[in-house]
A and B are shown apart, each in its own frame.
Chain A
Amino acid sequence: MSNPYLYAKQAAGVLVMLLLSTSAAIASKETDSLRKQLQEMKLQMQRIQNTYEQQIKALEKRLDGLESEQSRPATVARLPAAPRSAQQTNRSSDFQIGLTGLLSAGGSSVDNASLEGLQSGGHDPNKNGFTLQNLELSMGGTVGPYFDAQANLIFLIDAEGETVVELEEAFFTTRSLPHGLQLKGGQYFTEFGRQNKQHPHTWSFVDQPVILSRFFGGDGLRSQGVRASWLLPTEWYSELYLGMQNPKGETVTSFLNAPGEDIGGHTLIDRSVRNFDDLLYSVRWLNGIDVSDTVSMNLGFSGLYGPNASGTTTDTRIIGADLYLKWQAAQSQRGFPFVSWHTEILDRRYEAGDPGDSSRETLNDWGMFTQALWGFKPGWVAGLRAEYAKADGNTSSDPLRDTRKRLSPNLTWYPNEYSKVRLQYNRDWTEHLADETADSVWLQFEYNLGSHAAHVF
């Protein structure tokens, strides 16, 4: 059966196909010329656009110039020298961010409970097995022509396995005050002695000195406040620091430590700051001289005065002296060889109990540490530290006030500037432990990522 409709449809199909193929053939011939035309048009458009953009930019520039001329005060005859930063080197921002990890492993002849009394620094390796001592995230940079700012955040895992976050430091410093003055404000380590300001990853030993743990608590002496420092107009380097900080919290343990805590049998009360008399005042005088081309010396004296929480009117004062000597060979490869010697001595008078209290007394404590480092070949440092701490009265059962001696030899290897491996042995002599002596060995590993601001001296 022939279907005329189907036939017509087929014919139409063939016709359409024919048409399509011919038009395609024609099109393929024409495409090239069309493309060329299109390309030329595009180029022309581009040229026009470019010229317009250039003209607009030129106009904008003139407009900017006119505006800034108008806004410039007529009285200023000569503008101060313009910052050249644009054409100078600092193409990259000076905002710096860095991460430092400090891990340790080790063991002791005493159990974990006893170790907490021996290793009382908050970032000390303090348990048999592994310790994540400190993971520090540090950021800083220049805020503007007048200020720099910095913040250090600490993460650590404590003896109970809990993750702890500390806002270790967050402060600003001025850049350009006249007459050698500088202000610093925020949360920061108090300038007392040489060691207190150092972050755990710059320590020369795996743990902090006993006497600092006793006077300043596990995390070093730091609080919120302001300090001014003045570079004295002397021929040698001499700087005077005067500071004022909040005396309250667990990072100022010799002052308004947390209520309920105990010192020498006195339970601390909740005492608050009422006026300027109740703030923590600090003073430091630091001197530095070059003894010769290869030997330099720093000598500092520090003092603290503030309220303590054993009574409503009680005060604490701490004084200290620190000496640092460093010899570095005239010809040194990567800073080696060198020998350094660092000693600090501290004394505390703690007024315990208000006048009239039957238990009122003055607690006298003192202590010292002395440590020597010998960088005997590039990347290798041998160290030895000796410590002594003592308090008046019957303190033999108190881990923070008994007579304590510690000797710590160690060996550090720096595979490069950004990492180190350290092995340390501690020999402890105590009164508060049944054993009286303890032997501990710690292996520490540190790494640095990103740019971490170098630490001075």
Chain B
Amino acid sequence: MRNSIQILFGLVLLSSSWASYSAIRVVTTTQDLAAIAAAVGGQYVTVQSLTPGTRDPHFASAKPSMIRKVFRADLLLVIGADMEIGWLPPLLQSARNARVLPGNNGYLDLSTAVPLLGKMDGIVSRAMGDVHAKGNPHYWLDPRNGIRLAQAIANRLGELDPEHREAYQQQFTDFQNRLNNKFTIWRNELAQLKGKSVIAYHNSFIYLADAFEFNIVDEVEPKPGISPSAASLNALVTHIRADKIDLLIMEPYYERRSAQYLNVETGIRIAVLPQSVGAQTDIKNYIELFDSIVTILKNTIGK
């Protein structure tokens, strides 16, 4: 009797370990994609992000530990639009996992799932700074795109794991409903932002502006990725005064000196916005990201 209990216990252990092994291993380049994948994948997936939300994913440095993660992945989710161009191609080459190479089912470039803004026509020169010809890759900052991303991820998970296809679709529908409800609330909370002129540090908030209908009229960086100079800051001071702009938004990882200088010179208010899930330790999922952004914006403009 005791023996048979032991065998049964062993079998249960074995099957549970098998079950955890058979979960779809999703690896994402950013924590935002990881958060959405976790929401639609639920208990049928394990999710790991290659970069933390505290850093700019464009400038991640490839680390050996990433090779290990990509090697074991069943599904690789990437932002695309050249966001990871500096480190993902060599990483994919080292990771030797055919499942997640571009062109195969385990590779999903999510820039194909959303309408990209800021596409460039004509000649794109590096003299323009850090420009992305394929379009601006910061598209996760529009909650409506969050729904599109979730849909694309749920569809792909269903293809890879047909057994749980309905569960993924159900979890997607739940996510969509939650996000839609929240979006109405967020838009109400930021109603006074509508139509306002705003300055951004880097050209990374155009999707947020699109979602909440404010206008980004200038950037602290004179060209994308080029640090501001004294002359460019003074030109900005003139612009801020002339157009009476009173809000500057920026990511937490940019230097604050330029913004503080503009604040002293013109009184412009500064909102440091978490740009990604994980940018602050209390932002653990996609909805909390916008909760936090909306709260900060509301508090800043309401002052």
A333/B103 in contact, CB under 8 A: no
A236 to B253, CA, bound (A): 29
Question: B residues 103-117 with Cβ under 8 Å of A?
Answer: 103-105, 107, 109, 111-112
B71 touches A288 (CB 8 A): no
Would you call A89 and B134 a contact (CB within 8 A)?
yes
Q: Known pairs A293-B52, A335-B60, A416-B129; list 13 more (Cβ under 8 Å).
A: A89-B102, A89-B111, A176-B98, A180-B96, A181-B96, A231-B71, A236-B68, A288-B65, A288-B67, A296-B63, A330-B52, A417-B86, A418-B126
Mark each residue of chain A from 87 to 101: 1 if its CB lies under 8 Å from any CB of chain B, else 0: 111100010000000
28 contacts between A and B (CB under 8 A): A88-B103, A89-B81, A94-B102, A145-B103, A174-B96, A175-B96, A175-B98, A176-B101, A177-B96, A180-B96, A182-B94, A237-B68, A239-B64, A239-B67, A288-B64, A288-B67, A296-B63, A328-B61, A330-B55, A331-B55, A333-B56, A333-B255, A335-B60, A335-B61, A416-B129, A416-B130, A454-B62, A454-B90
A231–B56 CA distance with the chains assembled, in angstroms: 28
B42 at the interface (CB under 8 A from A): no
Using a Cβ cutoff of 8 Å, how many contacts connect chains A and B? Answer: 129
Say whether B91 faces chain A, with CB atoms less than 8 Å apart.
yes
A236 to B103 CA separation, bound complex (whole angstroms): 28
Chain A, residues 73-109, CB within 8 Å of chain B (1/0): the string is 0000000010111011110001000000000000000
Interface string of A165-201 (1 = CB under 8 A from B): 0000000011111001110000000000000000000
Give 1 or 0 for each of A394-405: 1 = CB within 8 Å of chain B CB.
000000000000
Pair A454/B87 contact, Cβ less than 8 Å: yes
Residues of B within 8 A of A (CB): 52, 54-56, 59-65, 67-68, 71, 80-81, 85-87, 89-91, 93-94, 96-98, 101-105, 107, 109, 111-112, 126, 129-130, 134, 225-227, 252-255
User: Which B residues touch A88, using CB under 8 A?
Assistant: 102-103, 107, 109, 112
Q: How far is the CB of B288 from chain A (nearest CB, A)?
A: 18
What residues of chain A lie closer than 8 Å to B65, measured between beta carbons? Answer: 236-237, 288-290, 296
What A residues does B67 contact at CB under 8 A? 231, 237, 239, 288
Chain A count of residues within 8 A CB distance of the other chain: 50
Q: Are B52 and A231 in contact (CB under 8 A)?
A: no
Q: A287-323: contact bitstring with B at CB < 8 Å (1 yes, 0 no)? A: 1111001001010000000000000000000000000
- Selected contact of B64 from candidates A237, A331, A416, CB within 8 Å: A237
- Most central of A85, A175, A456 by chain B CB within 10 Å: A456
Q: Judge whether A90 and B52 touch: CB under 8 Å.
A: no
Which residues of A are at the interface with B, using a C-beta cutoff of 8 A? Answer: 81, 83-85, 87-90, 94, 145, 148, 173-177, 180-182, 231, 236-237, 239, 286-290, 293, 296, 298, 326, 328, 330-335, 377-379, 416-418, 453-457
Candidates B60, B62, B225; contact of A416 at CB < 8 Å: B225
A152–B84 Cα distance when bound, in Å, is 23
- Shortest C-beta distance, A316 to chain B (Å), equals 29
Complex alpha-carbon distance, A312 and B57, angstroms: 55
Q: Are B63 and A288 in contact (CB under 8 A)?
A: yes
Specify which of A177, A290, A333 lies most central, judged by the most chain B CB atoms within 10 Å of its CB: A333
Measured CB to CB, the nearest residue on chain A to B58 is A334
State the Cβ distance, A430 to closest chain B Cβ, in Å.
Answer: 36
- Which of B89, B91, B134, B252 sits near A331, CB closer than 8 Å? B252
Which A residues are CB-close (under 8 A) to B52?
293, 330
Give the complex CA separation of A175 and B92 in angstroms. 9
